[in-house]
Amino acid sequence: MSIRRYKSVGWAAWLAVGLAVCVSASATLGEAQSRTGSEAAPLTRVEQVVGLSDAAARVGLPVEIEGTVTYARPRDSSLFLQDGANGLYVSFAKDMGLEPGDRVEVTGTTAASFRPIVMARKVVRLGRSSLPEPVKADFSELMHARLDCRYVTVSGLVLAAAFDDEQPHPALGLVVRMNGGVIKVVILHPDGLSRDGLLGATIRVDGTASGAFDSKMDFAGVWVDVESSRQLTVTSEPKASVWATPLTPIREAGFGYSDENLSERVHVAGTLTYFEPGALAVVQNGSDAVMVETESRLPLHAGDAVEATGFPHLDQETVRLIDGQLRAAPGQGNETGNAVAAQPRAINWEDASAGRYADDLVSMEGYVVAAVRDARVTMYVLRAGGHLFSATMRQSSADAAHGKAEDVAVGSLVRVTGVCFVENGNHWRDRMWFDVRLRSPGDVTLLELPSWWTFERLMGVIVGLGVVILAAVGWVALLGYRVRQQTLELEQKNREETASQRRFALYEQRRGEILEMISRGQPLGATLDAIVGLVSYRLHGAHCWFDLEARWEPDARTRVPGRMAIASEPMQGADGERLGDLHLSLAFHITDPEEMREALQAGARLAELAITTQRLYQDLRHRSEYDQLTEVPNRFSFERKVTELLGKVKREGGNLALIYVDLDRFKDVNDRFGHHVGDLFLQQVAQRLKSQLRGNDMLARIGGDEFIVLLPGVRGRKEAEEVAQRLERCFEDEFALNGYRLQGAASIGLAMAPEDGMDKEELQRVADMAMYLRKEQKKQERGEMQGGGYIVDRDNI
């Protein structure tokens, strides 16, 4: 979760809550009066409001309560109120300068939101009181909103920090990783806190538990509001500044990635509104819907009652289930947990682009401006209210073969029914692109044919009248000529508009193909070439190229034509590091600067995604083949290499030596000086061993203190024994580690192929036995009870 997204949620999210609640309260005023009466007794305790159901809160019950302010939001004139063990959100249209610890009296009415809230008409400050004792909260309690609006204390590691310049105060936003997940902490008055100084620190803060919400007011993340830096305690300073860590090559930035899914499995039921077997499904129950990523290929269809189970995943304030499973609901009717059959809701462009109906079954009307069909997808580009949107049907849909497609011509008025798929974006500040995903050909209903009065028929009438008039009056011929000229101009304009609409449809199709290349792990060079082609196509053949910061695969080298650029778009990774630039050639004249800027930005974002995906693949491959501590090959790499070398010996002859290296008394190093010194010791041992080997020799770490060396192509046992002696002698110098001087030692065993065997296990057994005999010999020589190594520590070296 990015800081920027949470920053945007702040004022806009709660303002949207207030507006939505006001509209709801106005719409139900008559119902409230009929249910409560003009003389209804007011609610006088916070716990009474918190205990209301949504239906009861929506009526607008009168409220007269007291409580202690735990946090005040100056940007949207609202506050959090707590009395005892109950917390409440209060919206008030006036900023009174309230502070945590103020005791206030609130008069107003209840309203429905994510939880019951109060719309205050009047807030009176009664005096000062102490803040409630903060409740120690874990991530699970926060994520389940069990402590919503309560004063809590949380602890975790600071991952990111940024000042919010768009707030009235210089608020500091922190991304904090708790045991179980990531939350956002916002400190309203940071009072000189250092942004960089908190990175990597473990902190404890006292604040008010809140949440982030999507465009449908569904819970989409944890947010803790903190008044000032006095409520923050650094429990563990960072080991070092994040800027002091060693520089990493850009192409290796992904090596540090790690992921751990601790989400709880959830179980939902409803009506299946969309299903692509082996890919995704959408389940809707009443006005609620959720997307499920699933590999299920059950014979299910839209309209079936189903159950789904999976793990919730939050991505840019969008909730979906991943690793999902589907099954047909047992029984008939609404036995799936009181599921309500899904009916399409008629909406307009403004509703859809605001994200309020994401993943819902909807219907929309519009005029067809373009239609594209191929073996995989049918796409219509529609115009409604001066805006364009798309409706697509994939042949992989479970219902693609159901129903008969109507003959829809460009210019027809149609109604499309399907699931509203919305792209991720900032729904609080901007409109988002959406696509109505059709289930079957029958989801397109023809409402009105194109106008009969076409351009061709108009031309026929004009020509006919021109002939008659020319026969009678000469000056009418001149008038007819002028009319024809104007008509030709109109025709040209219509052709240009149609071509532009078709270019847009083809552009979206090619963009989808590039995303598919990225997801399939195609070579980076081919993907970047496709992106360059896409940007050039959108800018009518303009020449563009990438200038990357790092070295990539040979087929992805920088393409620089030796020209100056008219415009450039920078690229950066998710961690903010620079990746390079996308340039546009100065030799091409751009008539629309806005289109140029949008095309460059779209291309740069696609390239960022392609490079990030490539890095992730390289990181995973490196981790599977190398030991992460010593950076030498691991057991998997060793077994693959020894199998390859033994096969070569069988085919071509020659010798292969296997040397088994076991560190003496390594456990004493860990026990006496700690595992950190032990890790440093292993790293230096690996470096010393590697320094004694040839370029084609292999050193691998196969256990905690065990290494194996492979010597291909040695001339005989004598040469291999010389290498083994060099390896043993490399421990003669002391190891200087973290303020200590350690004297290490190792026992070494040798096995030769084919002399001692041609099997991997047999060679290891022989080398292990030789190593054991060497270890026993060293015991006898030194008269020790255990292994041959010894340790000397000295302070202040």
* Backbone φ, ψ for residue 695 (5° rounding): -65, -35
pLDDT of residue 254: 62
Residue in 347, 251, 268, 372 with CA at minimum distance from that of residue 311:
268
Spatial separation of the C-alpha atoms in residues 78 and 72, rounded to whole Å? 6
Q: Are 257 and 297 in contact (CB under 8 A)?
A: no
pLDDT of residue 105: 94
Q: Which two tokens stand for residue 478?
A: 């001149």
Spatial separation of the C-alpha atoms in residues 395 and 416, rounded to whole Å? 17
Residue 758 neighbours by CB under 8 Å, 6+ apart: 646, 649, 650
Residue 677 neighbours by CB under 8 Å, 6+ apart: 669, 670, 737, 738, 740, 742
Q: Are 353 and 431 in contact (CB under 8 A)?
A: yes
Q: Are 517 and 510 in contact (CB under 8 A)?
A: no
Nearest-10 Cα torsion for 233, 236, 242, 244: 130
Chain-centroid distance of CA 545 in Å reads 27
DSSP state of 1: -
Residue in 426, 398, 423 with CA at minimum distance from that of residue 512:
423
Spatial separation of the C-alpha atoms in residues 292 and 276, rounded to whole Å? 10
Exposed e or buried b per residue across 11-35, where buried means at least 16 C-beta atoms within 10 angstroms of its C-beta: bbbbbbbbeebeebbeebeeebeee
Task: Report CA Rg, the chain.
Answer: 35
Q: Are 153 and 137 in contact (CB under 8 A)?
A: yes
* Backbone φ, ψ for residue 83 (5° rounding): -140, 110
Q: Exposure of 563 by Cβ count < 10 A (0-12 exposed, 13-18 middle, 19+ buried)? A: middle
- Tell me the C-alpha to C-alpha distance, in Å, between residue 460 and each of 232, 456, 457: 81, 6, 5
pLDDT of residue 261: 58
Q: Answer yes or no: pTM beyond 0.75.
A: no
pLDDT of residue 556: 40
pLDDT of residue 725: 93
Q: Exposure of 688 by Cβ count < 10 A (0-12 exposed, 13-18 middle, 19+ buried)? A: middle
Nearest-10 Cα torsion for 102, 104, 108, 109: 70
Q: Are 307 and 335 in contact (CB under 8 A)?
A: no
Low-confidence ranges of the chain (pLDDT < 70): 1-39, 75-76, 165-169, 215, 248, 250-263, 315-317, 332-341, 424-430, 453-457, 550-565, 586-591, 783-797
Residue in 146, 250, 148 with CA at minimum distance from that of residue 611:
250
Spatial separation of the C-alpha atoms in residues 333 and 336, rounded to whole Å? 8
Residue 485 neighbours by CB under 8 Å, 6+ apart: none
pLDDT of residue 62: 94
DSSP state of 378: E
pLDDT of residue 563: 54
Exposed e or buried b per residue across 717-741, where buried means at least 16 C-beta atoms within 10 angstroms of its C-beta: beebbebbeebbebbeeebebeebe
Q: Which two tokens stand for residue 619?
A: 């990181």
Q: Exposure of 757 by Cβ count < 10 A (0-12 exposed, 13-18 middle, 19+ buried)? A: middle
User: For residue 208, what are the β-bridge partners?
Assistant: 151, 225
